[in-house]
Structure 1
Amino acid sequence: MKNTIMKLNIKNTIGITAFLISQTMAAQFYVGVQSGIGNVKSDIKGTSAGHELGGAVKAGYIYSLSNHIGIGTGVEFSQYKQDVFLNNSSATLSNFEVDPSTSAFVYNVTASNYKERQTLHAIQIPLFIQYKTNINKGIDFSFRAGAKYFLPVNYKIKATASSVNGTAYYPDVNLTIDDLPEYGFGSQNNYSASGEYQTKGIVMSMFELGFTFDMGTKNALYAAMFLENGYGSIVDQDKDESYIGYNPTSASDRKANGLYSTDKNAKIRPVAFGLTLGWNFK
């Protein structure tokens, strides 16, 4: 159901953008690329993320309301990549699970040298106001401010660890099970598994400060600095999950749920800043 809703959102978003573009054929069109530091921030305690180069390709138009003010929109495709770690490489995280006999227990997972490689792809629909003014012959200063609808297309993870140990504690009978592989409890070396977060769209703020350089009567080069900040959470789940899932029939082949699944109320949001380089068609 979530995948179906996401596909409909993508189709509706692209359709609306295409309609807006078709209504403003007299507008100034642009294409461009963005590159800079992209980070999917979280407020989950005990985790940290590396910062890597992210980027986007984009196209759109700006409709002029006056010599200085314009309204712009378009469509962008962005990518974020990062590694996420536990601050304490030997930390034990707990979660409630239910075994095949419907008995509830506390599932304790310890993963040595756990690393989670995250790759996020998203479609972004910006809506912004641009202010521009001429500062020299053929050179304009411009400032853009507005918002973006950030719609994740997929958010995949690749989890690895040198070893994983999953144990169970049954509080009703005060029983701990730490070595029963056929029921999912015990150790596994050289853990590796792939997974994917369920996602939803959010709103981002966007700011750009740059210059336009005329390259002829019909074209111009655009260079700017940008800052984008997400609000809300792109991860969509209805319950807390163990970052390495419980397999009721084996101590291996455990599902990679990911560290961002451990708190369903966590705020998982994209943040990016860097440089934009574009080409305007007057």
Structure 2
Amino acid sequence: MAEARTRFAPSPTGPLHLGHAFSALTAFERARAAGGRMLLRIEDIDTARCKPAWEAQIFEDLAWLGIDWPRPVLRQSTRLPAYAAALGRLAAMGLTYPCRCRRADIRAALSAPHAPVLGPDGPVYPGTCRGRPMAEAGPDDAIRLDMRAALARLGPLPAFTDTGPAHAGRHDLRAETLVDTVGDVVLARRDIGTSYHLAVVVDDAFQHITEVVRGEDLFPATPIHVLLQALLGLPSPAYHHHRLIADDTGKRLAKRDDARAIATWRAEGATPADIRRLVGL
């Protein structure tokens, strides 16, 4: 039987806050309860925003919380060839196309007569560049997945299981939902050569993750990931989308909320037990 493995995958673009503490502790304790391990992955492909000082702070905060992880950690910045290989496989299947549209172009195409449908990445792409051959791809192009072609290639669609409080149960992928409310997602941004969706799928398989533990705000992205797993012939882990930690007004915490940063609580004399109490553990 495979070892149980979860992962915590922060980006070093700012301080960890109480929401990160809850997610990391949840992943760590679920792995430990199953006799396995939590892996730490540094999602640093956005090199313009990622800073070594924030990465060092991640290690310090997690250790202070009592969380341990195997060394060395996996950094996405070292994995670009693996992402390129996965993108090449999808391109060889005829499932990708280059897209030259900027955000303003997409907004203009969706401006009338109805409000745009919002998907996991924002307004669902209207397909302006669909049909462009990959031979035309250049440095100013993003690479998108042709969702209809991908669904046609798979035939029967896969399903995934979630054990989180808001989405517990089996979830079948549905073609009409993926076309209408997800659309042709970006697989490679023009500035970094990959995307969150592609990188997370490749890395979860590489690290043999058996359960993905993350916030319920990422639940809408999970069908994209399960679809990519099926297309690439990768194993599909179980999922646990946990509740989000909000501020006093009910708004989800973000990295810009420095007052909620773990380091701030530590500096004010809080203990790891205080943090656990604050996040409801």
Q: TM-score range by the shorter chain?
A: under 0.3
Length-normalised TM-score, structure 2:
0.27
Larger Rg: 1
Length-normalised TM-score, structure 1:
0.27
Larger helix proportion of the pair:
2
